Amino acid sequence: MSTDITTAVPAAPRGPSAMQRLVGLNLVRSLLVSLGVLVIGVVLLESTDAYTNTQLSSVTYFTIAAIGLTALTGLNGQISLGHGALMAVGAYTTALMLDTDSPLPFPVIALAAILVTSLVGFVVGIGAARLHGPYLAGATLAFAIALPSVALYYKGTFNGEAGLTVVAPQPPEWFVSFIDAVSGTFATGSKYVAYLGLFALVIALFFALNLGRSKVGRHWRAVRDQEVAAEIAGINLGRTRVQAFVISAAYAGLAGAVMAMVVRLAAPTVFTLVLSLSLLTAVVIGGLGSITGAFIGSAVLVFLPPLVTDLSTESGLSDTQSAQMSPLIYGIVLVLVMLLAPGGVMGTLSMAWRRQRARRQLTATPTKKG
């Protein structure tokens, strides 16, 4: 009686395939996620009307700034209330560079906005490197309040309180042909700006995903969680904090460049303290340290106010009363999140998933009888 060797000897466990190993690489995984966001963005822009396109444009620059603030606050533990002022630096740089007879391409202008804002962030970061918690928040708050006065002081360059009108770039021929081939519609200037914001968001997302999983991101988390242990391990605390602030400022500069083209204005009234607080609120609602949370918080920031205003108007309130309902509802949402879900949307979902997985593992483990 013979025995089949394939049934007698258990098969050795197979390792991951080449495709699984490739997808497991951080760089490839980040690229796939970024391409997925790009495809979703194109579908949304081509399936919605012009007004929603403008709202999606707003989501892009809010998300870019929120990702930078997430990196600073969620990964490195620094609290900033001055990112609205950093966005103003990027916006004014963009407005000045576009206000010429032959403006440079937007990628060059965006890179210049990033570099100028990073330089400002470097100066602020050096000053704030030794500050923590409320002291750091106070320092960045003072920066957010003081910076708009620069535009008022140098009125000849920045046009004072009225600000600079931003001339948005016109869509090139290849873009018009591409949109006509994809959706059969005409590519307006607003749609071109929306696509520029989408591409800027995808690039920012790609770098953020790699940053969080890199050695630099691990150093940031070490400084955030146990700065004494991190210092013993050889991590320079001051240099790490300045590095985090500069990279976060670069994100704010890119967000300001996109915002300048969407709003078509760079003025002190646009970049108030409310903008900085709104960014921090978006990060808190979405979940500290979560890039997905930055998307969710930014979407809430853009879509909730007009939704509340429309519902209030339909219920019989006057236009003034409806406009006042938006910040009220937004504040209520923030308070509810802080009380019921202090980890934000993504933090709460992640905790619920971990509890469910632990419950399944406990159920699957056989009980030992004594």
Residue 132 carries which DSSP code? Answer: -
* Mean pLDDT rounded to a whole number for the chain: 83
Contact 243, 219 (CB under 8 A): no
CA distance 73 to 251: 13
Stated as kind and residue range, the H or E segment containing 266 is strand 265-266
Q: Is pLDDT of 28 > 70?
A: yes
Stated as kind and residue range, the H or E segment containing 165 is strand 164-165
pLDDT, residue 163, reads: 87
> How many CB atoms sit inside 10 A of residue 320's CB?
8
pLDDT, residue 19, reads: 62
CA distance 143 to 255: 18
At residue 259 the predicted structure's pLDDT band, cuts being 50, 70 and 90, is: very high
pLDDT, residue 220, reads: 85
pTM: 0.86
Strands (DSSP E) along 225-283, which ranges? 265-266
Q: Is pLDDT of 149 > 50?
A: yes
pLDDT, residue 72, reads: 86
Higher pLDDT, 69 or 347: 69
Higher pLDDT, 325 or 70: 70
Q: Is pLDDT of 23 > 60?
A: no
Q: Is 318 exposed, middle or buried (0-12, 13-18, 19+ CB in 10 A)?
A: exposed
Higher pLDDT, 14 or 195: 195
And the tokens for 302?
A: 């853009």
176-180: long-range contacts (C-beta < 8 A, 24 or more apart)? 179/46
The 3-state DSSP class for residue 44 equals helix
Q: Is pLDDT of 2 > 90?
A: no
Contact 187, 171 (CB under 8 A): yes
Contact 100, 284 (CB under 8 A): no
Higher pLDDT, 266 or 357: 266
- Exposure string of 271-308, with b = 16+ CB inside 10 Å and e = fewer, is bbeebbebbbbbbbbbbbbbbebbbbbbbbbbeebeeb
| Residue 230 identity | A
Higher pLDDT, 253 or 286: 253
DSSP 309-347: HHHHHHTT--HHHHHHHHHHHHHHHHHHHHHH-TTHHHH
At residue 10 the predicted structure's pLDDT band, cuts being 50, 70 and 90, is: low
* Mean pLDDT score, 292-313: 87
State pLDDT tens for residues 160-185. 888 899 887 888 888 888 888 877 77
* Mean pLDDT score, 235-247: 88
And the tokens for 13?
A: 């466990």
State pLDDT tens for residues 212-227. 778 888 888 888 888 7
**Stretch among 32-41, 83-92, 94-103 having the lowest mean pLDDT:** 94-103
* For the chain, counts of helices (H) and of strands (E): 17, 2
**Stretch among 28-42, 199-213, 222-236, 325-339 having the lowest mean pLDDT:** 325-339
- Among residues 71, 118, 122, the alpha carbon closest in space to that of 93 is found at 118
* Mean pLDDT score, 350-367: 79
- Among residues 141, 137, 123, 128, the alpha carbon closest in space to that of 85 is found at 141
pLDDT, residue 250, reads: 95
Stated as kind and residue range, the H or E segment containing 6 is helix 5-8
pLDDT, residue 215, reads: 85
pLDDT, residue 21, reads: 61
